[in-house]
Amino acid sequence: MWTLKTVGRAAAPTANSSLGAAIWAPAHMSVFYQDSAGSILESEFANGTWARPRAVATAKLGTDIVAVAASNANGTLKAVYVQEGANIIQWLSSASSDWSNTTITPSPELSSNSRFSFNSGRMHYTSADGGIAEMTGRVGQWRQSGKLSVSNSGPATDVASGLALFDWAFVFYSTADDTLWNQGYFTYYGWQRPLEFVPSGVPWT
């Protein structure tokens, strides 16, 4: 059952701030949000307590914020992605190192207020041409992969993606005409045609 809880000791987010959240370990998670000055703040929960928020990055106001747990040879990494102009900025932190950043420059170009999603080695983002593009790889080694065929009556406005099986990925995206679409990917067949998604038979709004 879902219950509503408050992020303790949190700072005030700016109006319409994006939220990013990730679980690092059992009973250890962080929520990321933006304040009115453009700072990306982390509220971290561990040992049953919310820590005071701390600034981990800065970004343009209104940026999407995506947080994921990653890893490298040194262990678990906190990874946070935000937009800065035509670039996605990747911020990384580990138990032994503070936050540092690298720049990802996607092609095709990001939309002016891009929405993006990261899942299991895939990055999907809304592009300036109204479509959705994909990059594949891992922390520090992202490469352009291709574009989805957004064949409906409006440009993509938001995107979420996931991995159902090792060879089956799926992307949900909304469009400017207030419809929700689903597109699947299978290793041996590539991207399938987009299908409109109507949750429980109720029009998407």
pLDDT digits (tens, 9 = 90+) for 13-61: 998 899 999 999 999 999 999 999 999 999 999 999 999 999 999 999 9
pLDDT of residue 195: 81
Q: What is the 3-state secondary structure (H, E, C) of the chain?
A: CCCCCCCCCCCCCCCCCCCEEEEEECCEEEEEEECCCCEEEEEEEECCEECCCEEEEECCCCCCCEEEEEEECCEEEEEEEEEECCEEEEEEEECCEEEEEEEECCCCCECCCCCEEEECCEEEEEECCCCEEEEEEECCEEEEEEEECCCCCCCEEEEEEEEEECCEEEEEEEECCCCEEEEEEECCCEECCCEECCHHHCCCC
> Does residue 204 have a pLDDT over 50?
no
Q: Which residues pair with 5 in a beta bridge?
A: none
Average pLDDT, the chain: 85
> Does residue 100 have a pLDDT over 50?
yes
> Does residue 94 have a pLDDT over 60?
yes
Q: Which band of pLDDT confidence, cut at 50, 70 and 90, is reported for residue 103?
A: very high
pLDDT of residue 167: 67
Structure tokens at 5: 């809880």
pLDDT of residue 153: 55
> Does residue 201 have a pLDDT over 80?
no
State mean pLDDT over 171-197: 79
Question: pLDDT (tens digit, 9 = 90+) per residue, 128-151?
Answer: 888 888 888 887 788 888 777 665
